[in-house]
Amino acid sequence: MLKRLWMRRDNSGRNTGQTGRAARTLAMNLGLNLIALGVCAAHARTAEEQYPAMAPLEQYLMANRADEIDQARSAAPPSISSDADVLTLGRHGYETAIKGKNGFVCLVQRAWFSGLTDQEFWNPKERAPICFNPQGARSVLPTFLRRTGWVLAGASKDKIIARTKAEIAANEISVPEIGAMSYMLAKNAYHSDAVAGPWHPHLMFFLPHMNVVDWGANLSGSPVLGSDGGIEPFTIFFVPVARWSDGTPDSKPLGVHNM
């Protein structure tokens, strides 16, 4: 395209000065844009290169069990989390630290709870408190607990993907129950390096695969975000809310929905 602009001529066959200047300006701008795109691509590659495989297990564990319990409970308001089961991560998987009575299950998820193609799948810094309602605890959470077992047994990401596909084919991983959802209202979360901390307080809704536009998700002005679960048999909808679990308001603007 640039060559055609530079070679463009007026009716007399001579180069038009204005056209030439415009072409040079456009070429410069396009060159800068290509450089910027290259920088972005380099950052994307760096994320994958920085976390190519699982880090030492100690980096994913929390030293203080009481701190992990408190952080897990911060995913939802106390009226919910105080009566919920609380799980903590041990060397062989998540363990029940506190038995609740309302059917909710709260825990601090690690990076491998993210999508199977997530660039930060092995990021040991990720700590994202989440609290599943009873339907989510029964039909969605087991997928991630099973994956955690594979991770701690030393499975590579490729093996985890292959096992997930096999279990879906065998109906051992099924679609979410009607009403499956979770709370993620923790102020002290670390969702990813891209966010470098918590995103926004939000609710997550899990449904069988569907078109996210049916919820108006990802459309201009819509507060709803939708993400296809990919390999997993569900679509996730994210709905930001106004306050964190401690009741304080979310002060970050919602203009950019980066997670």
The pTM of the whole model exceeds 0.75: yes
Residue 6 predicted with pLDDT over 80: no
Contacts of 148-154 with C-beta under 8 Å, sequence gap 24+, read 148/89, 148/93, 148/94, 148/110, 148/112, 149/92, 149/93, 151/54, 151/112, 152/57, 152/91, 152/92, 152/93, 154/54
Band the pLDDT of 148: cuts 50, 70, 90.
very high
With beta carbons less than 8 A apart as the criterion, state whether 62 and 108 touch. Answer: yes
Q: What is the DSSP letter of 215?
A: G
- Structure-model confidence comparison of residues 121 and 41, the more confident one: 121
Highest-confidence range of 14-23, 77-86, 189-198, 219-228, by mean pLDDT? 77-86
Each residue's pLDDT tens digit, 181-226: 999 999 999 999 988 889 999 999 999 999 999 999 999 999 999 9
pLDDT tier at 258, thresholds 50, 70, 90: very low
Looking at residue 194, its pLDDT comes to 87
**Percent of the chain residues past pLDDT 70, beyond the cut:** 79
Confidence band, pLDDT 50/70/90 cuts, at residue 45 = low
Residue with tokens 């001529």: 9
How far apart CA 58 and CA 8 sit, in angstroms, is 63
